[in-house]
Amino acid sequence: MDWYPLYNSLRIAAISTVAVFFLGIFAAYYIAKLPRLVKGVLDVVLTLPLVLPPTVVGWLLLCLLGPKRPLGAWVQAAFGVKLVMTWWSAIFATVVVAFPLMYRTARGAFESFDHNLADAGRTLGRSNAWVFWRVQMPVCKQGILAGTVLAFARALGEYGATSMIAGYTPGRTATISTTVYQLWRTNDDIGALKWVLVNIAISAVFLLAVNLLETRQRQKGGGR
């Protein structure tokens, strides 16, 4: 059995989760401070990928990054790199669809954060960065962790936009989800079943780990 789709899926999900982690937290932190109207508009725009069909996201991404489109053509001319149909093209798709999950959960966590804690830190002479990393992030850990897990799970399961922007090339752009589709399409039910089981196993292990983490967190106590 060729394990390339597993390796490819995991690295795409891992890289896009790291990207989405910082992008989502950054967006949540700064957007929470904006005036209500701007916040409302940005909120809709940033959450849209969550409710759009992945094919719509894929089509829009192709419009932007395709070899004959402005950005895609420019990158190709300047760097000689094609933005689509490579293994990392899928990262564009997974980042866009996973971002709203991270952004929304992080924002929810930041909104329920007691700002007196931040103000206390600042009156005690601590920098805004210290307050953010040493108080706000640890206090909002649950929400941030939940967002990260959801983003990773979503990135791992991405199919529609990925298949449009990265296609299916065995050994190059194949991911678990595109492989399952391809095997099913070619009547290879046994092959498809193997990958289905692999996917279920990963997801189950992942969720189990998160549950364990949460239980341990609760046993350690603390917090209010």
Contacts to other proteins by CB under 8 A: 114, 116-117, 119-127, 134-135, 138-139, 141, 221-224
Closest distance between other proteins and the C-beta of residue 127, in Å? 7
State the DSSP code for 85. Answer: S
Closest distance between other proteins and the C-beta of residue 120, in Å? 4
Closest distance between other proteins and the C-beta of residue 102, in Å? 21
Q: Which are the contacts of 12, defined by CB distance < 8 A and separation ≥ 6? A: 87, 88, 90, 91, 94, 155, 162, 175
Nearest to other proteins of 51, 129 (CB atom):
129
Nearest to other proteins of 38, 120 (CB atom):
120
Q: How far apart are alpha carbons 115 and 109 in whole angstroms?
A: 12
Q: How far apart are alpha carbons 76 and 205 in whole angstroms?
A: 40
Six token digits for residue 89: 């093209």
User: Which residue has tokens 């990262």?
Assistant: 91
Q: How far apart are alpha carbons 188 and 182 in whole angstroms?
A: 9
CB contact at 8 A, 27 and 49: no
- DSSP labels for 104-134? HHHHHHHHTS-HHHHHHHHHTT--HHHIIII
Burial class (CB in 10 A: 0-12, 13-18, 19+), 164: buried
Nearest to other proteins of 33, 224 (CB atom):
224
Nearest to other proteins of 35, 80 (CB atom):
35
Closest distance between other proteins and the C-beta of residue 221, in Å? 7
| Cα angle: 203, vertex 158, 195; to 5 degrees | 50
Closest distance between other proteins and the C-beta of residue 26, in Å? 21
Nearest to other proteins of 15, 118 (CB atom):
118
Closest distance between other proteins and the C-beta of residue 187, in Å? 55
Nearest to other proteins of 61, 109 (CB atom):
109
